[in-house]
Structure formats: structure tokens, C-alpha cells
Amino acid sequence: MTTMTRTRVRPTAVLAVLFAGAFVMGCAEMLVVGMIDLIADDLSVSIAAAGALVTANALGLAIGGPLLTFATTRLDRRHVLLATASVFLVANLLPALVADYPVFLVARVVIGAAQGLFIAAAMVTATSIVPPERTGRAMSVVISGFATSSALGLPLGTLLGQAVGWRGSFVAVVIVAAIVLVLLVFVLPSVPTDAGSGALGQARHAFAPRVLAVLSVSFLTFAGMLAAITYLVPFLDEVTGLSGPLVTVYLLVYGVSTTVGSALGGRFADANASRMLIIGAIGVLLSLSVLLAFGGNAWIAGLAVLGIGMLGMGTAPSIQHRVVSLAGPGAPLAASLPASAVNVGIAFGSFAGGLALDRSGPGFAVFTGMGIAVIAIVVAWATSFLKAPAPRE
């Protein structure tokens, strides 16, 4: 674990800046989604090629995040966060200045990796400045930053792209990132890693079977959610008869519900993280069942979407809490793994839902999500019996 220099540490200020950092990094990820047509036209590439920029970001986060965390595990988390924020700033400046698709693609991989490293370092920092009984709530602050960006990043990206162009949107991200970087310099405490906590030793604990088992709960829960949510638009069009601007309302409801769920989930993580994983997976299953059975009613469909986002994302702080706890001495490295599990789950869920949709329509995509959620419940229950390793003397 870590020790911390507590001189003049202001927990509220530190958590607020970490939230801001998570928010701006998440917005950078969502910007491309909101401006994908503008980017494709300007760079003279296909929509599919522009979509690869989103995939590059996700792969950078899922793979690059843990690798960078491993490489920097012996460094002070303050230094890691400052370096990461600086790299993020430069990587977002490149697309705005260089009219080149390959450079943009590489920059997106770097941005994703920086996001993954920031998450891990921010989690360690956030939990080091609060009492143990508030660990889950501290984690939820960082998670809420990314969740809020998911809710607002898409509409913000669309509006900014229309107003100042997609390059101007990235300039706006760079400006905000520079402000966050300055704030980080002033408020971050020193959070050094214990001298006896080597990278290989951390990896042994971070990738222990008990940790991987809990990560599988996150993978399954988000796979179940995204198998349905990825294809919410065609589902609403076919089953509820909604299209156009009205569908945007449902997407906004989902985004807001994930923000609220991640914020409230911290308290449940502090109370009983294992139980929350079970409750969240059951909630996702019930919400998907309601969507499939009563999706023809616009109001009930809206409530189901609300439940999927709130209960599913409400498990995120508990996953983080359980992973860090079960990893023991490997906690600094393990802190980067839940984000990877979530992104892999999102990718798998979207793929599985797409296959189901091609075979039998959007309703079968929701049914596929339900099947994955059932497995998530079983695994969540099984992992609830896992115990954290005894602390070292």
C-alpha cells in the first residue's frame, strides 16, 4: 500500500481536482463520437475509419493503462498524475494542429493509455487522503468524473463541433486540461509507494485469481448492459416506435443515470461492496427484463433505461473497492484493472448484442444482455466469499 505526506492536505480540494481531471479526460474520449462525421469529412476517411479512433482510445485504456501503471509503480503518485496530465494535454493538441489521420490514431492510443494511468493513480491518491470507512466514496468521485463526461461529452462534442469545428473542440479540451494541470500542481499531496512494494511483487498480487474473479463480475455486468444499450436506438424504433430527437432523450437519461449511480455507489461500496455487486447485477437483469417485456410503453422503457444505467454503474465503486482490497500489496497496480475490465466488457457486450440483432432483431440483443446478466449474478455471489489477504507484519 502507500504512505502519504499529510502536510496541508485539503481532501475536498484534492478530490475536486481529481474529479475535474477525470471529467476532462472522459470528455476527450466522447468528443470523437459526437463529431465522427465531421472528422471523417475533414480527414477524407470513411466513417468506419473515424470510428477506429474510438477503438484506439479504448484499447489504449484497456491495455496501455495497466502497462504504464506497472512501469510507474515505484514512483510517487503525485509525479505520475502530473506527468500523465501533461502527456494527455500534448496528445490532444496534436489532432488540432496536425492534419494527419495516422498521427491522430496514435494520439488516441496515447490518450487512452494516459486515461488508464490517471485512473489508477487518482484512485490511490483519493483513498490515501480519507479515512478507511470513506474509501468507496473517494473512489466514486473519480469514477463519477468519467461517468459525468460520458453523459455530457457526447452532446458537448456535437455542439462544439458545430460551433467551432472538431479541431477547435480539441483546442477547448487542451485549454481545460491546462487549467486542471495547474490546479493539480497546487493541490496534489505527495503519495509515495512503499519501499518494499516492487513492480513484480505488485503484479503477483494484482493478478491473483481472487482479483481476476472479481474483475470478471465487472466484465459481465457491463457486457450485459451494453449488449442492449448499444442497440437502444433500433430497439426503441422497432418496439416503442420512437425515433429522431425523442431517442436522444433516452440516451441522455442513460448518461445521467450512470452519473448518479456512480456517485451513490460509493456509499454502498463502503457499506458492503460484495453485496452491492450482487444487487447491481440483479438490478441490471430486472431492468433489462422490464425493457424487453414492456418496452412498447415509452414511460416504462425510460424507467428501464434509467435502472440499467443507475444500477449497473452503481457497481463501479464496489468493483474498485473489492479489487483494491483483494489485491493487498498489489493495490496500486490493481487500481488500473477495473477500467480495463469495463472496457473489455463494453466491447464484448456490443459485439454479442450485434450478433444477436443480426440474427433475430434488437429484442434479441436485449435478451442476450439478460443472459449475460444472469451469469454476472452467479459470479458476483460466488466472489462474495473471497477474502482479502492478511496484512503484512
Q: How far apart are CA 386 and CA 388, in angstroms?
A: 7
* 158, HSE (Cβ side, Cα atoms, 13 Å): 8
What is residue 312's predicted lDDT score, i.e. its pLDDT? 94
What is residue 198's predicted lDDT score, i.e. its pLDDT? 66
Q: How far apart are CA 375 and CA 220, in angstroms?
A: 7
Contacts of 179 (CB under 8 A, 6+ apart): none
Residue 371, CA distances (Å) to 8, 78, 282 in order: 50, 42, 12
Contacts of 288 (CB under 8 A, 6+ apart): 224, 228, 304, 308, 366, 369, 370, 373
What is residue 372's predicted lDDT score, i.e. its pLDDT? 97
Q: How far apart are CA 40 and CA 382, in angstroms?
A: 46
What is residue 1's predicted lDDT score, i.e. its pLDDT? 45
Assign 3-class secondary structure to the chain: CECCCCCCCCHHHHHHHHHHHHHHHHHHHHHHHHCHHHHHHHHCCCHHHHHHHHHHHHHHHHHHHHHHHHHCCCCCHHHHHHHHHHHHHHHHHHHHHCCCHHHHHHHHHHHHHHHHHHHHHHHHHHHHCCCHHHHHHHHHHHHHHHHHHHHHHHHHHHHHHHHHHHHHHHHHHHHHHHHHHHHHHHHCCCCCECCCCCHHHHHHHHCCHHHHHHHHHHHHHHHHHHHHHCCHHHHHHHHHCCCCHHHHHHHHHHHHHHHHHHHHHHHHHHHHHHHHHHHHHHHHHHHHHHHHHHCCCHHHHHHHHHHHHHHHHCCHHHHHHHHHHHHHHHHHHHCCHHHHHHHHHHHHHHHHHHHHHHHHCHHHHHHHHHHHHHHHHHHHHHHCCCCCCCCCC
What is residue 62's predicted lDDT score, i.e. its pLDDT? 86
What is residue 125's predicted lDDT score, i.e. its pLDDT? 93
Instruction: List the chain residues with pLDDT less than 50.
Output: 1-7, 393
What is residue 195's predicted lDDT score, i.e. its pLDDT? 56
What is residue 163's predicted lDDT score, i.e. its pLDDT? 83
> Can you tell me which residue has the cell 515505484?
74
Question: What pTM does this model have?
Answer: 0.82
What is residue 7's predicted lDDT score, i.e. its pLDDT? 44
197 backbone φψ class: left, alpha, beta (φ>0; ψ -120 to 50): beta
* Cβ atoms of 216 and 281 closer than 8 Å: no
